[in-house]
Structure 1
């Protein structure tokens, strides 16, 4: 499997985080300009942001949680040369689920649907880790 094929889902997932970071910044600055929020001491994460800004912010921060384990497994698969077509397909499935989760999170934000997408992504991520571990330890 080529490096480009292995890393493509990683770059696409990073793109999601970048888009959400820019969107978060724009929505927060818009809320500040509109006077919807008062700047005070402490972290801006603790401010009482309007719902649209809060949804995007929460979604952005969520991209810094579960995807971290995807980045690690992708790097390990690349370094150990254990990534194959199945690994890449599972990677794309994980990324697709993260995008669907982000669309739900920043859109209608139905908790049941969002949790289903999150849980599905978590299971695919677990499958990636188990697949890599099996490949490494059965080939050792």
Structure 2
């Protein structure tokens, strides 16, 4: 079960990086550090995207962390598919962040999000299926 802790921590590190990035891109506006000559923020284009992406990290990701904790607490024999799906989720979140912050490609962002979504849904589906079979 402890193998799930590593992808969970990787997501925490992603969120930490996004908080640091958001602090950096807000610095010209909040602290006046790095303002353009006209007083504007040179990072305005990515500041709102970074903020939105950070908020996204606390939406569907909640279900990822919950299923990981449930699997760890239950102490079930963990199938390798759970670890693989957890990494699909985390890598997908990283790619999703890059796409959302660095581009305006909503179609690609949607595709990447769907992979994240399906990975967590599959983890829940497998867990429920195993639980139902175990109770039968």
Which secondary structure does the structure 1 equivalent of 2:75 belong to? coil
Does the alignment pair 1:107 with 2:102?
yes
Residue among 82, 88, 98 paired with 1:87 = 82
Partner of 1:11: 9
The RMSD of aligned alpha carbons is 1.6
Give TM-score, length-normalised by structure 1.
0.84
1:3-57 CA-to-partner distances (Å, cap 9, x unmatched) read 1x121100001110110011111111223312437xxxxxxxxxxx822111111
Q: Which residue of 2 aligns with 1:25?
A: 23
Unaligned runs of 5+ in 2: none
Deviations 1:71-114 (A, max 9, x none): 00000011112332111111111111111101101111310100
Which residue does the alignment assign to 1:96? Answer: 91
Contact 2:25–2:44 (CA under 8 A) maintained in structure 1: no
Residue from 23, 36, 39 that aligns with 2:40:
36
Structure 1 unaligned spans of 5+: 38-48
Number of residue-to-residue matches in the alignment: 127
